[in-house]
Amino acid sequence: DTGVSQDPRHKITKRGQNVTFRCDPISEHNRLYWYRQTLGQGPEFLTYFQNEAQLEKSRLLSDRFSAERPKGSFSTLEIQRTEQGDSAMYLCASNRYTEAFFGQGTRLTVV
């Protein structure tokens, strides 16, 4: 069990560029979540997968955001046409039964 892995750990991008983050959950965890955490705040739910199916999306997930989980393994979160307001820590979590295990996050800075 190597834990939830996220890549990259840090990303600096210019406004208007597209970025993609990857999350590798703990193997055999069928549920995967994305959260966003801005400075000084708690994480906020973005979206949830059970296996390869995206079952829920938050209102926070605008049309510029898209997430996938092909084959029910790793997941990607893409942000198109980034804005300064997208600057945040993006956290991935996975679980099979009870508690969620979180990755270390990807910190996005949009300049």
Partner 1 sequence: AQSVTQPDIHITVSEGASLELRCNYSYGATPYLFWYVQSPGQGLQLLLKYFSGDTLVQGIKGFEAEFKRSQSSFNLRKPSVHWSDAAEYFCAVGAAAGNKLTFGGGTRVLVKP
Tell me which H or E stretch contains 36: strand 31-37
Please choose, out of 17-25, 62-70, 76-84, 98-106, the segment that lies near partner 1 by the rule CB under 8 A. 98-106
By beta-carbon proximity to partner 1, the closer residue of 19 and 33 is: 33
φ/ψ of residue 30, rounded to 5 = -90, -15
**Cα gap 76→35, rounded to integer Å:** 13
**Cα gap 4→20, rounded to integer Å:** 17
Count of residues touching partner 1 (by CB under 8 A): 26
Check binding of 57 to partner 1 (CB under 8 A).
no
Among residues 21, 33, 49, 65, the one that binds partner 1 under rule CB under 8 A: 33
- 43, amino acid identity: P
Residues that bind partner 1 (CB under 8 A): 4, 6, 31, 33, 40-45, 48, 56, 91, 93, 95-105, 107
